[in-house]
Amino acid sequence: MEKYGIPQSLLPGKAYINGTWVSEKTGKTFKVLNPATGELLGEVPDLGAAETEEAIGVAYKTFQTWKETTAKERAKILRKWSELLMANQEHLAKILTLENGKPLTEGKGEIGFSASFFDWYAEEARRTYGDVVPTPAQNKRLVVIRQPVGVAGLITPWNFPAGMIARKVAAALAAGCTTVLKPAEDTPLSALAMAQLAEVAGVPAGVFNVIPCSRPNAASVGKTLCESPLVAKISFTGSSATGKLILKQAASTVKKVSMELGGNAPFIVFNSANVDAAVKGAILCKYRGSGQTCVSANRMLIQEGVYDEFCSKFAAEVKKFVVGDGMQEGVTQGPLINERGLEKVKRHVEDALQNGGKVLCGGKPHSLGRTFFEPTVISEVSNKAVVLQEETFGPLAALVKFNTEAEAIAIANNCRHGLAGYFYSQDISQAWRVAEQMEVGMVGINEGLISMDVIPFGGVKESGLGREGSKYGLDDYMEMKYICFGGI
């Protein structure tokens, strides 16, 4: 990593428990690879259940003092952490791009996005108001206060190696919780760099603990977090399959749970749309992170009146993409995270073609090899295609033609997921109607990028539970306590 000019201090290469950099007891490690080149970036301790128990114990003990700090004190630390992220934006972006593959400009953007959560929650920490309830009994007075839940176990994915951590940790710490984080095995380096900056920012030892582990150890680390009576809350972002398992495990100790799972977002372009704006929005929404975001457009439904125009303009834009190693100047599309990701895109493309699809561009693994797939647009895809049912998580846009608004809504809602949904329309009545009817947690109208610190991010149906970011995000880390003063 030296050749990239990243300071060694941001690459601790160890786990972080109780403010100390630690190794696995027998020295077991796992490898972190660059998805673009296969290059070995580093080795990280491969922790298991024992170290997880230890980190939980530390977090539980630290909670007893951290919860007593004032919101103002916590805000100061969070703000400092935010400033440090921005001061190290270039280096952190490189770490992120090297382990995730996204273009460096997107990596920089993600560090800014991450810093914004620390900044936002530094402010929100001081607004965890309670309530005074008008009393129905003369001799009683009724109050509601809000308190931190306790230790929060956090499990994060690889597609936003810093952003998903920031969104959880900033809210947890603002609320007064302590945390044990298990970052994704593909991208633990960003998590450890963030821990290093947490230390500099003055986050007390034991408040933020990071336990990296390999994929084979994820199940036991996850189970330990879910079943420990000392952990009060689990926040998970990842696949629906893993989320459902975690939800079951967390039931054993009746934990508060937040889940941000798969999306399979509909992206609808109505006849009333400004087609150029829709093309621009669709490009960002579909291909950011090579389509590997849970809010990526997955089911692209285009009304017949604008179908041909949209298809040709959209495909023309996709053809301009520059595919390559995200560290190289000018690259707009990086690789998939691993071969498993590539196989899924391949399967969806083959299936779309068997279901009547016509390739407008791309359609096969990229000549760069391994994890690279050509940015792909397929038109005339039928409703039966698997891409209409399953999230692709890759650079495939499958364009489905529809006739009526009711038909588009029926297709959009015929899905077990409901995270984000998008549509383009210049008709204000239609905008209200469709936004209200979409079975999703978030709607973008004439906009393809909707995620930010101040909004409640989350879904309905099998896309999850709870909300992250915004003033509502704090609720997931706090309990209400009702206090009745009698004998007044």
Provide the annotated active-site residues.
Answer: 260, 294
State phi, psi for 475 to the nearest 5 degrees.
-55, -35
State the Cα–Cα distance between residues 257 and 433, nearest whole angstrom.
32
Q: Which amino acid is at 398?
A: A
Nearest-approach distance from CB 392 to ligand ADP, in angstroms: 12
**Minimum distance of ligand ADP from residue 233's CB (angstroms):** 15
Q: How far is CA 203 from CA 16, 179, 234, 476, in A?
A: 12, 11, 21, 21
Q: How far is the CB of 437 from ligand ADP (least distance, A)?
A: 29
The least distance separating ligand ADP from the CB of residue 361, rounded to whole angstroms, comes to 26
Please say which residue, 259 or 478, places its beta carbon nearer to ligand ADP: 259
- In terms of Cα–Cα distance, which of 167, 226, 170, 196 is closest to 16? 196
Which pairing describes strands 40-45 and 29-33: parallel, antiparallel, or unpaired? antiparallel
Cα–Cα distance for residue pair 296/286, rounded to 1 Å: 5
Query: Whole-number minimum distance, CB 219 to ligand ADP, in Å?
Result: 4
Q: Is 232 or 246 the residue whose CB approaches ligand ADP more closely?
A: 246
Give the single-character DSSP code of 234: E
Helices (H) and strands (E) in the chain, counts: 13, 22
Structure tokens at 98: 């090297």
Count of other CB atoms within 10 angstroms of residue 44: 27
* Lookup result for tokens 């880390």: 477
What is the distance between the alpha carbons of residues 449 and 440, in angstroms, rounded to a whole number?
15
From residue 430, give the alpha-carbon distance in Å to each of 124, 260, 318, 348, 403: 35, 29, 29, 32, 15
- Alpha-carbon distances of 155 from 47, 50, 219, rounded to whole Å: 14, 17, 11
- For 176, 231, 260, 410, the CA distances from 223, given in Å and listed in that order, are 24, 11, 18, 38
Q: Please, what is the minimum distance in Å from the beta carbon of residue 105 to ligand ADP?
A: 23
Residue 275 CB: number of other CB atoms within 10 A? 17
Which amino acid is located at 32 in the chain? V
Least distance from ligand ADP to the Cβ atom of residue 404, Å? 36
How many residues are there in the chain? 488
CA–centroid distance for 341 within its chain: 17
Binding site for ligand ADP (CB under 6 A): 155-157, 182, 184-185, 218-219, 222, 238-239, 242, 245-246
Q: What is the DSSP letter of 412?
A: H
The smaller minimum CB distance to ligand ADP, of residues 59 and 474, is found at 59
